[in-house]
Amino acid sequence: MAPISKECDFLVIGGGSGGLACARRASGQWGAKTIAVESNRLGGTCVNVGCVPKKVTWNAAAIAETLHEAAAYGFHVKETAPFDFKTFKHKRDDYIKRLNGIYERNLNNDKVEYLHGRAHLLDKNSVEVVMDDGSKETIRAKKILIATGGHANTPKHIPGADLGITSDGFFDLETLPKRVALVGAGYIAVEMAGMFHHLGSETHLFIRHDTFLRAFDPMIQETIVTEYERQGIHIHRNSTQSKLEKDPSNPGWMKLHYTDKASPDGATMDLDCLLWAIGRVPEVEDLGLNKAGVAQNDRGHIIADDYQNTSVENIYALGDVCGKIELTPVAIAAGRALGNRLFGGPEFKNAKLDYTNIPSVVFAHPEVGSIGMTEPEAIEKYGKENIKIYKTSFTAMYYAMMDPKDKAPTSYKVICHGEDERIVGMHILGSGSSEMLQGFGVAVRMGARKRDLDNCVAIHPTSAEELVTLK
């Protein structure tokens, strides 16, 4: 082993949201000598190829949607040129670069030493970092955190699959495709399908079953699938893909071979972009986990308990690399709690993140929000006779001026348990759901009962008032 070149109290491998939150808490608040290592851009998936550029793109799609709807309110908007996707893309890139710089300055302000390189565990206290210029640093650390996140998965069994892109490649596109196919049924596929469609691409979404967002409440699944079809997104149910190949007669285009419910014997489609959104895998390939004895599950995720402890006493893990709840705010909260527990003194000896009742949102068109149990989960845990469902579906006032065929749905469901009707699940779909759920999420976390909703005076006229007037 190479001689030790650096020593520290805390070494953080991974410069994403969770790792940086923990590193800054350990060093900036508690004074631990901390080193952070990242091989890509600071900010991780969320900042570079996830939440942040996704939301910027969603905003652009929402503006396009509003321009289309403006005529119903008497506005006559004439576009003098088509949407300039290239200019938009470059401005979005510039915004992300500014955020990368802010993250690096924040590390410096909190006295975290930052190394840009690839880290490999040598043993439970030693890490080798291969720097950008090929030189190597060997670091001895009292405690090590692995927060390397994950990366998009692609199918290995489909010939030509590498002709497609993943969600990472979505943010590299310089032009909008004319016809795009997305394969997947999770929130990434659903969000990107909505964005492609509203920005002007002919959009096809290939799913394995009859609905998408299958981890969400059935009300959400059924409503959003119907709405996407109303908008003109092509849903290919019960689909499989067998081959993707270049079209030699049409440069830049490909031919997808597939089956679906409508074509069980097989069909082909010409397209100029295919996006695989079939899940993510942990970023652990060359970490050297076996050298340190860090245990993984059968999907490759690092096994960590509620306190982020791994199978090795002084090595911890959090965020997407653990595969628990893959959301940026979850990793940040877990990171800060771990920083407090490891370095904050005895009053923080039991600090950890509570992983129950974590709100989440899908930036679809319209937005989806969810916290707590789905109806099937609540029935399984408590029994159907012990829960009560309150739900409503209506047309938001925004659509009052539009033709019936142009009106989007709004649907809410509140799931209550026991005689005192404690809220154990809330699921909302409709415009503004992302902002709305943050406040209601606080109430659910505090143990709100149905009567608490009833006792809150409604704000009128809003969609949110329907949640406090449910019968």
How far is residue 257 from each of residues 164, 167, 263, 408, measured CA to CA in Å? 13, 21, 11, 33
Interhelix angle 51-69/187-199, rounded to 10 degrees, is 40
Residues 345, 346, 350: CA angle, nearest 5 degrees:
110
What is the rounded CA–CA span in Å between residue 431 and residue 397?
A: 11
Residue with structure tokens 């006032």?
397
Comparing CA positions, the residue from 196, 214, 217 lying closest to residue 205 is: 196
Q: Which residues are catalytic?
A: 460
Burial class (CB in 10 A: 0-12, 13-18, 19+), 303: middle
- How many residues can be counted in the chain? 471
- The kind and range of the H/E element at 276 are strand 273-276
What is the rounded CA–CA span in Å between residue 297 and residue 390?
A: 39
Q: Which residues have C-beta within 8 Å of that of residue 159, sequence separation ≥ 6?
A: 242, 243, 244, 245
The strand pairing partners of 146, in sequence order, are: 13, 317
Category of 74 on φ-ψ map: left (φ > 0), alpha (ψ -120 to 50) or beta: left
